[in-house]
Structure 1
Amino acid sequence: MADNVKNFSVEYNPINNSDIFTSGDYITGRITLELAKECKIESLCVKLKGKADVKWKEHYGRTVVTYHKKEKYFSVKQFFIQKGKDRNVVDKGCHVYPFTFQIPAEDLPSSFCGKFGKILYTLEANLSRSMRMDSKAKTLFTLINKGNHYPRLMTPQQSTIDQKMKLLTSGEVAMDVNIPRTGFHQGEGIKVVASIQNKSSRNIKPKFCLYQKNSYFAKGKRKIETRDILKEVGEVIPRSAGQTVTRIITIPPTTCMSILNCNIIRAEFRLRVYLDVKYAFDPEIKFDIVILPALEGSYVEQPPAYFRSEALPNFYMSPASFPQNPTDTGPSAPPPPYMSYGVYPSLSGFDGKA
């Protein structure tokens, strides 16, 4: 028996040029239902959902153990047609059902997609008919956490290491490194100042590495995934010499944001400053870095690299015009989308308190 449904889809309207939402924003959109002929429908609804999910497997000899855990943030449903109502016969043609949701104004973790877990925010439409499998449509949208609540964002960091060389290298090297604070925005530069004393028998090179460490938690176990974001190399410091090195390490604008408010997924970043000493263990210093959303107007046009359509097909949608009239000020009308988009504060507004 031929299916009468020619098209069933759900889409939303981008709230800004970056197509990125945050908690408390309104999200508007529509379900499109195209029928080849008149059809009786039991129910038609759309659901706004937010959840985190982790899953991986570990082998213990011949035994394979699956570690899996979910964390649900919200689930809000809106019906257009409900079972038992008189209006459940829909005519032939194309029908559009607009909707509006407000994303809960809670401390929600940012959208994320890693090797062993993901944090997803979705709009899911469901069409139910008698004697038929339900028709489903889904689209993802990106939500970011502004990070205002993270402590110690403005706290400067400083560390020192003094290491004696062994084996094929003699003498010692010392390094004192500082960075101006802990929190940095996507696309921002980290000013690294390193005072280096090379009292060894070899030339050395200062090196810099920004890397990401993702942690996944389930059943009391932890799975770790790491990857380098960028690496840079400084000029050679000759033996028996001292030098102060200043380097600006620019965070790529497509870098994932820190996720520190999810119970089953953490995305953390560290800046590693180390000295490359031939035939010796490299002395190193590590700083914890909190990466915050780019300041307003600094976003790249594409969605963040960790959440692009290559990883999740059909995710990214080109911007569309808002369906609401900005002059509509009726008592039930939500604020226009552009008004609910908050300006990211500069870091000078943080006082380092929780």
Structure 2
Amino acid sequence: MTVKQLLLEYDKVNERGTLSPGDTLSGRVTVVTDKETKVQCFLVKAKGKAEVMWPEQDRGASLVHSDKKTYFYFEDIILQDKKGDGSIIIGPGKNVYSFTFEIPKRDMPSSYKGKWGKIIYSLRAKLTQSIWQVHKAKTEFPFLTKSEFPFVSKSEMIIIGLKEPQYGTRISFYGSGKVTMNVSSEKMGLKQGETMEVSAEVLNNSAHTVTPKFFLCEKQTFVAQSQRIVHTNAILLGTGESVSAATSRTVSTVLTVPSHLPPTFFNCSKMKLEYRLKVTLDVPLGRDLEIKLPLVILLGQPKPPKEKAKRSWFT
């Protein structure tokens, strides 16, 4: 083996290390050899794609649903032996080759990895010496959409409701008693790392003690041609104070969205990501009462690195 190392790197253009539509993707491929090396073809590829795949059992048969969408594909041939005479040679030692691609200025979703699909943007280098000697290198780069609201259509780009308070009410009967729960949040849109107050007003006219619980619900939807699958996940944020029988109480808490939580998005035809704030009343020997409020998570501002500390959903 004359090729000792094949290293692929790209240049960061901002403090996040992300690339976006319209940016220049540049970098270099480093090839380290111990002697002169004949090359048939040496190239670099840049690709952005969304792909989904999930298994399913249908009448005892195993099926796999899959689909993909390509957002861009570029190829830069650095070296190629078109004549086939072995005249294309890489010298011994360290050899560095630069490349540059222009990312298209179009609406493309951010990088994302979910239960049954992912949106990935990657670079690949391939050096072919012969049919039996092929060297490859791959790296993924984080991609960030330029759409301010990647969860609505272009005709609805300004969403006033993101800053408006949200309310929900439910009433349930347990035996001869009635339980009413009113839930409110300061707004529907919340940036990564941002906090907001959530309140649950409970009027308990039943004979049971009820306890409010707060959840963050995630909904991932994947589409492959005419098939669709949904993956949901509920994260318990915390439990409020119990409300005794024949009493009322308002329980308030502060919700902090983790800075690493992916933002809401709809601008991918193969998958989408949604969130809900769910408040339930845990009722002994009864069906839990629940209220779901829409929650749109927006991209936050990057924060400087700092020492790790324990973080809580409640303050």
TM superposition score category, shorter chain reference: 0.7 to 0.9
Out of 57, 60, 68, which is 1:59 matched to? 57
Q: Which one-letter code corresponds to 2:69 in the other structure?
A: E
Following superposition, the deviation at residue 23 of structure 1 comes to 2.7
Give 5+ residue unaligned stretches, structure 1. Answer: 303-354
CA–CA separation in structure 2 for the residues paired with 1:87 and 1:128:
14
Determine the structure 1 residue equivalent to 2:166: 157
Determine the structure 1 residue equivalent to 2:253: 247
Determine the structure 2 residue equivalent to 1:100: 100
Following superposition, the deviation at residue 26 of structure 1 comes to 2.8
Does the 8 A contact of 1:200 with 1:240 survive in 2? yes
RMSD, aligned α-carbons: 2.4
Give 5+ residue unaligned stretches, structure 2. Answer: 153-158, 309-315
Following superposition, the deviation at residue 27 of structure 1 comes to 2.9
Q: Which structure has the higher relative contact order (CA within 8 Å, separation 6+)?
A: 1
Instruction: Using the TM superposition, name which of 222-231 and 110-119 deviates more.
Output: 222-231
Following superposition, the deviation at residue 300 of structure 1 comes to 7.9
Which whole-Å deviations, capped at 9, do the CAs of 1:106-150 have from their partners, x for residues lacking one?
222121222321111101112133444432210011113355134
Q: Which one-letter code corresponds to 1:108 in the other structure?
A: M
Instruction: Using the TM superposition, name which of 274-283 and 225-234 deviates more.
Output: 225-234
Q: Secondary structure at the match of 1:48?
A: strand
CA–CA separation in structure 2 for the residues paired with 1:230 and 1:18:
29
Does the 8 A contact of 2:38 with 2:87 survive in 1? no
CA–CA separation in structure 1 for the residues paired with 2:42 and 2:307:
34
Out of 43, 46, 70, which is 1:45 matched to? 43
Does the 8 A contact of 1:13 with 1:28 survive in 2? yes
Q: Secondary structure at the match of 2:163?
A: coil
Which whole-Å deviations, capped at 9, do the CAs of 1:153-183 have from their partners, x for residues lacking one?
33432221122224xxx41111222223222
Following superposition, the deviation at residue 229 of structure 1 comes to 3.3
More strand by share: 2
After superposition, residues 138-217 of structure 1 pair within 5 angstroms as 138-145=138-145, 147-149=147-149, 150-151=151-152, 152=159, 153-166=162-175, 170-217=176-223
1:79–1:275 CA distance, 2 compared to 1 (3 A): same
Does the 8 A contact of 2:16 with 2:302 survive in 1? no
> How many pairs does the alignment contain?
297
Following superposition, the deviation at residue 5 of structure 1 comes to 1.0
| Structure-2-length-normalised TM-score | 0.86
After superposition, residues 23-34 of structure 1 pair within 5 angstroms as 23-34=21-32
Q: Which one-letter code corresponds to 2:45 in the other structure?
A: K
1:131–1:221 CA distance, 2 compared to 1 (3 A): closer
CA–CA separation in structure 2 for the residues paired with 1:133 and 1:301:
46
1:18–1:87 CA distance, 2 compared to 1 (3 A): farther
CA–CA separation in structure 1 for the residues paired with 2:202 and 2:278:
15
| Structure-1-length-normalised TM-score | 0.77
